[in-house]
Structure 1
Amino acid sequence: MPLENYFQSLQPNGFDISVRHEIISEILKFCCRFDPLLSYLAVNYLDRFLSSQGMLQPKPWIPSLLAISCISLAAKMMKAEVSLVDFQGDGGFIFDPQTIERMEILILGALKWRMRSITPFSFISYYMSLFQLQDPSLWQSLKARATEIIIKSQNDIKLLEFKPSIIAASALLYAAHELLPLQYPFFRKAIFCSSYANKENLLQCYNAMQDIVMDGYVSVFDQASSSITPVSVLKQQFSSSEYGETDGTTPTTTIRSAEMRDVKRRKIINYCDNLTIQVNFSDSTMLRKARFQS
Structure 2
Amino acid sequence: MEDQLLCCEVDSIRRAYQDVNLLNDRVLNTMLKAEENYLPSPNYFKCVQKEIVPKMRKIVATWMLEVCEEQKCEEEVFPLAMNYLDRFLSVEATRKTRLQLLGATCMFLASKMKETVPLTAEKLCIYTDNSVHPGELLKMELLVLNKLKWDLASVTPHDFIDHFLSKLEIYPTTKQILRKHADLRGSLCYRC
Taking a change above 3 Å as real, the CA distance of residues 91 and 97 of structure 1, as seen in their structure-2 partners, is closer
Match of 1:35 in 2: 74
Higher relative contact order (CA 8 A, sep 6+): 2
CA contact (8 A) 1:10 1:17 kept: no
1:3 to 41, 63, 66: 41
- SS at structure 1 position matched to 2:56: helix
Taking a change above 3 Å as real, the CA distance of residues 6 and 25 of structure 1, as seen in their structure-2 partners, is same
CA contact (8 A) 1:23 1:67 kept: yes
**Structure having the larger proportion of residues in helix:** 1
Residue 149 in structure 1 maps to residue 180 in structure 2: no
In structure 2, the gaps of 5 or more residues are 1-38
CA contact (8 A) 2:121 2:138 kept: no
Deviations 1:28-48 (A, max 9, x none): 110012222111111110000
TM-score with structure 1 length normalisation? 0.47
Match of 1:99 in 2: 136
Deviations 1:78-112 (A, max 9, x none): 14422343333357234333211110111111111
Match of 2:92 in 1: 53
1:64 to 90, 96, 100: 100
Deviations 1:131-152 (A, max 9, x none): 121x221111111111111111
Match of 2:156 in 1: 119
Moved beyond 4 Å, runs of 4+ = 7-11
2:168 to 115, 131, 151: 131
Taking a change above 3 Å as real, the CA distance of residues 2 and 86 of structure 1, as seen in their structure-2 partners, is same
In structure 1, the gaps of 5 or more residues are 157-294
Task: Report matched runs for 1:229-240 at 5 Å.
Answer: none
What amino acid sits opposite 1:22 in the alignment? I
Whole-Å Cα distance in 1 between the matches of residues 150 and 135 of structure 2? Answer: 19
Task: Say which one has the larger Rg.
Answer: 1
Match of 1:192 in 2: none
Work out the number of aligned pairs and report it. 150
TM-score with structure 2 length normalisation? 0.69
Whole-Å Cα distance in 1 between the matches of residues 46 and 75 of structure 2? Answer: 27
